[in-house]
């Protein structure tokens, strides 16, 4: 199963940059989207179906903001919209699809970059996300958590770890949370397989950051450790330019 996660920073904007052609070319089995920034009635659902995908959308209540989606060639056994926590579900941040014993989540962690209130919201989310996924593992032990985590875990994951150490997304407390979370029995699939530096999934629109590869790796496929024997490959696709993010890929054997 080829699973791709992509923060499209507005699905309608990405479609205008030939998202459909890109999907047709890369041909994922499951495509997890974040930051769709659209209501369901604003999305060309039939065009996604014409590509061969069942598609499930979980928009934020606020128009033009946040939201997640899962597109799949195989119809899931079950789709769960949200975590049952209104503060997060109102922002469309967590969408799960079950395929037999496997569950794939499209998740969009909050950013704290807009100020102290949202940073506090983000830290509360991180605690609640941990508790929710730990409970979820009891019934759904084979998890793929795909999405924009809005955190660089290690210094290798960011172009300038010194100057960004006081910036939301690379704060010590965020990085410490990531370490604690992985230690519960999860693996960062990309870093498990790829040890080279300068591998990023997001670049600021400012200062020609993408062309200079001054980026951050904040998009992940995190799997439960029991799935490590099924992990075949993981990679980043920086040549895809529908967004300020790029897609990240993981291949999971049946």
Residues with catalytic roles: 148
d(CA 140, CA 103): 7
Beta-strand pair 2-7/30-34: parallel
Phi-psi category of 193—alpha, beta or left, where left has phi over 0 and alpha has psi -120 to 50?
Answer: alpha
How far is CA 180 from each of CA 78, 156, 174, rounded to the nearest angstrom? 29, 18, 10
21, two tokens: 């052609």
Q: How far apart are CA 143 and CA 137, in angstroms?
A: 7
What CA–CA distance (Å, rounded) separates 224 from 141?
A: 7
């Amino acid at each position: 199963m080829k699973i791709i996660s992509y923060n499209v920073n507005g699905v309608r904007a990405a479609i205008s940059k030939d998202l459909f052609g890109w999907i047709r070319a890369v041909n994922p089995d499951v495509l997890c989207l974040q930051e769709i920034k659209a209501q369901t009635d604003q999305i060309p659902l039939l065009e996604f179906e014409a590509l061969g995908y069942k598609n499930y959308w979980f928009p934020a209540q606020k128009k033009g903001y946040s939201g997640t989606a899962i597109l799949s060639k195989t119809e899931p056994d079950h789709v769960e919209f949200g975590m049952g926590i209104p503060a997060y579900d109102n922002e469309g941040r967590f969408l799960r699809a079950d395929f037999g014993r496997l569950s794939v989540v499209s998740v969009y962690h909050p950013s704290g970059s807009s100020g102290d209130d949202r940073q506090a919201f983000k830290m509360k989310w991180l605690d609640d996300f941990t508790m929710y996924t730990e409970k979820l593992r009891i019934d759904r032990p084979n998890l793929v958590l795909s999405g924009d985590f809005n955190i660089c875990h290690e210094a290798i994951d960011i172009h300038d770890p010194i100057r960004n150490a006081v910036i939301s997304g690379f704060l010590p407390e965020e990085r410490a949370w990531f370490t604690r979370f992985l230690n519960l029995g999860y693996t960062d699939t990309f870093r498990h397989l790829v040890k080279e530096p300068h591998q990023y999934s997001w670049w600021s629109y400012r200062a020609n950051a993408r062309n200079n590869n001054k980026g951050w790796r904040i998009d992940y496929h995190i799997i439960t450790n029991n799935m490590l024997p099924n992990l075949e490959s993981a990679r980043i696709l920086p040549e895809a330019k529908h967004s300020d993010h790029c897609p990240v890929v993981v291949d999971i054997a049946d």
